Amino acid sequence: MRSNRLLVAAGAILATLPNAASQPPAPGEILRIDATRWVMANGRVDDIRSTGILTPENPGGRSIPGVTPVPPPPPGTPPPPPASVLDVIAASADPMNVTLDLNKDGKFDDAAANPLIAAGALVPSGFTLAIAERVPGAPLPLSWIAPVPRFGGGNFYATVSIPAAGIVRGQELVTKEHYEGYTANSVIYESPDIGLVIVDNNLDGGTKQLSATANRKTQSRLVGYSNPLQTEIVEAGQSPLPDGRTQYTVTAVSDNGAEAGPNATYRWAVEARSGTSIIDVVGAPTLVFTLPFNTKPEDLPLTDWDEGQVKLTVVSSGWGPVVPAAAMGNPFLTPLPPPPQSVGLRTFVSAASTLSDTHVMYCKGGTRENKPTLQRSLCVLIDASGSMKDNNKMVQAKASAARVLQRLAAGTEVCLIVFYDCGRIVVEHAFTTDPAPLIAILPRIQPSGGTPLAAATAFAKDYMRKHASGATLDLVILSDGEESCGGDPLAAARD
């Protein structure tokens, strides 16, 4: 047994050394490692690791909503999204030493009391804000320990600039000099990319240790990634239509604490014999689609119908449980491609967290014995861009759409398409003869970004050509007519 007593023989003095375990930590020592998210999805698959996070100091980086600083809006424009983590850190009294525990009780603060808690909830689930909580007082030199290996161990990004070390906010910490020179008590950690981590349990996730050192004492904390975040495509039904085609309903079911749900955008790809359709659904995990994609079944040889296997892919992406999807815009970096569509390398790349699944479904083909019986196909196209907030335009547009839907004549099918921003055109509901579900969608439509009137018009016309069954095709556009995405609405209407 080790003694803490020292015998000095010369003077026969018996002295007692202090027990190191009982000494209170020195001012500036690390008490523990905290993080805004302990369980994460896998990291990004784009090129953030080579460019870092977009900040004014790191203009070549990738924009990560919830992390990238939000510039102040011009006068008279809508308010910006909530402050990002880096905004809150920059505005703190001491950006080099921030905390999730202001009252030092060993627990996270309430989000209302500490803006860093609220901002941390907006960070995409492949990332977390890690903080070395310290004893108050004159800070001791602090350094973070690099996650290893660099490719497969996750990545640290600077939350503040350290000019003396040549480090700018948002850059990845890579070299020995970076880790020696970066002394802030906070970093952004990105979990490993699933393509770089091969584990034994069917790629079901793993853990990584986040560590920092001060006064030759190291504190660490494990974080988990991937395994609790799952989604699964479930077939919810199929029914024949009067024109001989078949309507299918599928749902992406997320579980185990996944943040997808009402705050997510679901990007679906349906790959069938009659073509490929890529569809964004905002705030709802259910997709309704009709096969074959072609407008008129009689245009196809019988052997080209969609009987057989159809591949379904869904990627749900969102900003976390706090921010509605409409407040941040479409997280997918690649806009929906124009027809003919196909799944490409960057189709599902997102700036936010992602969950995905693929599924092969057996579809029963139609017959040409059932001829179209619908007289009319009507598409309601609603402008939900930012300009519709002015002068009660959005309210008037919803009221007009409701009147159209409530007066739908027998033998008419209707669909609802909404455009929220440049490159963000959403089929809110596929063609149906029942207007009730479309009317139910109207209250949740909220105006947001730019006005792609031309692109939306072209998209709606093509969607009708591919999916409508009526003898007559009509398009109703409810918009203030202010194109802001560089298109030509008149040309789109004529084509």
Question: Same structural domain for residues 446 and 392?
Answer: yes
For 235-239, 327-331, 374-378, 422-426, which range has the lowest pLDDT when averaged over its residues? 327-331
Question: Same structural domain for residues 423 and 350?
Answer: no
What's the CATH number where 410 sits? 3.40.50.410
Closest C-alpha to 323, from 491, 23, 122: 122
Identify the residue whose tokens are 């063609």.
431
Mean pLDDT of 345-360: 80
Residue 350 to residue 314: CA distance in whole angstroms = 13
Q: Three-class SS of residue 198?
A: coil
- Per-residue pLDDT, 327: 58
Is the residue at 263 inside a domain? yes
The C-alpha angle with vertex 275 and arms to 271 and 278, in degrees rounded to 5, equals 55
- Per-residue pLDDT, 49: 61
* pLDDT top residue among 24 and 371: 24
What's the CATH number where 346 sits? 2.60.40.10
Question: Same structural domain for residues 296 and 425?
Answer: no
Is the residue at 308 inside a domain? yes
Is the residue at 15 inside a domain? no
Question: Same structural domain for residues 67 and 36?
Answer: yes
* Residues of the chain above pLDDT 70, percent: 78
- Per-residue pLDDT, 264: 79
Closest C-alpha to 189, from 213, 153, 240: 153
**How many domains does one find in the chain?**
3
Picking from 316, 339, 363, the residue at the C-terminal end of a domain is: 363
Is the residue at 437 inside a domain? yes
Question: Quick one: how far is CA 138 from the chain centroid?
Answer: 39
Question: Same structural domain for residues 109 and 258?
Answer: no
Domain boundaries, position 337:
230-363
pLDDT tens, position by position, 47-75? 456 688 989 999 988 888 889 898 877 77
Average pLDDT in the chain: 78
**Banded model confidence at residue 150, pLDDT cuts 50, 70, 90:** low
Closest C-alpha to 246, from 255, 237, 254: 237
pLDDT tens, position by position, 199-220? 433 445 678 889 999 888 899 9
Strands 206-214 and 246-255: unpaired
- Per-residue pLDDT, 374: 77
Is the residue at 387 inside a domain? yes
Question: Same structural domain for residues 236 and 199?
Answer: no
Question: Same structural domain for residues 43 and 177?
Answer: yes
Question: Same structural domain for residues 128 and 80?
Answer: yes
Buried/exposed 352-384: b ≥16 CB within 10 Å, e otherwise: bbbbbbeeebebebbeeeeebebebbbbbbbbb
Is the residue at 201 inside a domain? yes
Distances (CA, A) of 240 to 237, 247, 249, 348, 376: 11, 6, 12, 31, 18
**Banded model confidence at residue 198, pLDDT cuts 50, 70, 90:** very low
- Per-residue pLDDT, 415: 93
Is the residue at 9 inside a domain? no
Identify the residue whose tokens are 């092969």.
360
Question: Same structural domain for residues 184 and 234?
Answer: no
Question: Same structural domain for residues 240 and 316?
Answer: yes
Is the residue at 14 inside a domain? no
Picking from 225, 254, 280, the residue at the C-terminal end of a domain is: 225
Question: Same structural domain for residues 124 and 103?
Answer: yes
pLDDT over threshold 70, residue 258:
no
Question: Same structural domain for residues 393 and 339?
Answer: no
Picking from 312, 341, 363, the residue at the C-terminal end of a domain is: 363
Structure tokens at 104: 């030092």
**Banded model confidence at residue 332, pLDDT cuts 50, 70, 90:** confident
